[in-house]
Amino acid sequence: MQARAIFEAACDVAKAQGEAIVPEIMIPLVSTKREVEILKALVARVAGQVFTEKGRTLEYMVGTMIELPRAALMANEIAEEAHFFSFGTNDLTQTALGLSRDDSGRFLGAYVENGIFPRDPFVSLDIDGVGQLVELGAVRGRETRCDIKLGICGEHGGDPASIAFCETIGLDYVSASPYRVPIARLAAAQAALAE
């Protein structure tokens, strides 16, 4: 249903403006190439139906969220099917650290005070641990698909230290909630200048 809505809207925009956009369909929470393969085929089937109904075709991309440690480890295989990765660092942090973002607020302050974590890992990316998974996923994804588009999404996308890390490993974009966008833009500019 969501893919259909995206393709219908993209076709309508192309018709109204005379200029086609390239929709990006993102499949969440995968851990294997086969999951992407199955869902990519479903997206292609829906796209074909909509394109027949609308009398036009559009280019589009299918990618995935890398939110599970296994997905980061298997990124080379997943990139065979995915045109882009968006590292969902909120969920990747939860699954890598075995902590629930919803419940950890009761004890994370004590973890930071006692030096277990230098900062709250749900506010600023745990570069030493979760960051390794992001970097490894990026490297392995690029080994398979050199032109793969890579970024992060989630609250870390508005954290200057996390953005600086993303610049260091060569990610293409960060995505954050609207109120964090001004901070993200400034941090991204500063990180780019520092490189």
Residue boundaries of the structural domains of the chain = 24-45+62-194
Arithmetic mean of pLDDT over the chain: 95
Nearest C-alpha neighbor of 85 from the set 26, 135, 43 = 26
For residue 105, pLDDT over 90 is answered with no
Q: What is the pLDDT of residue 30?
A: 97
Q: Considering only 18-27, 54-63, 118-127, 174-183, which range has the smallest mean pLDDT?
A: 174-183
Is 60 within 8 Å of 24 (Cβ atoms)? yes
pLDDT tens figures, 166-178: 999 999 999 988 8
Separation CA 65–CA 10 (nearest Å): 22
Q: What is the pLDDT of residue 42?
A: 98
Q: Tokens 């490189």 — which residue? A: 195
Q: Considering only 16-20, 26-30, 39-43, 157-161, which range has the smallest mean pLDDT?
A: 16-20
Sheet containing 149-153: order of strands: 24-27, 61-66, 84-88, 149-153, 173-175
pTM, two decimals, is 0.92
CA quadruple 98, 103, 107, 108: dihedral sign = positive
pLDDT tens figures, 131-146: 999 999 999 999 999 9
Percent of the chain with pLDDT over 90: 86
pLDDT tens figures, 79-101: 999 999 999 999 999 999 999 99
Q: Domain 24-45+62-194, what fold?
A: TIM Barrel (3.20.20)
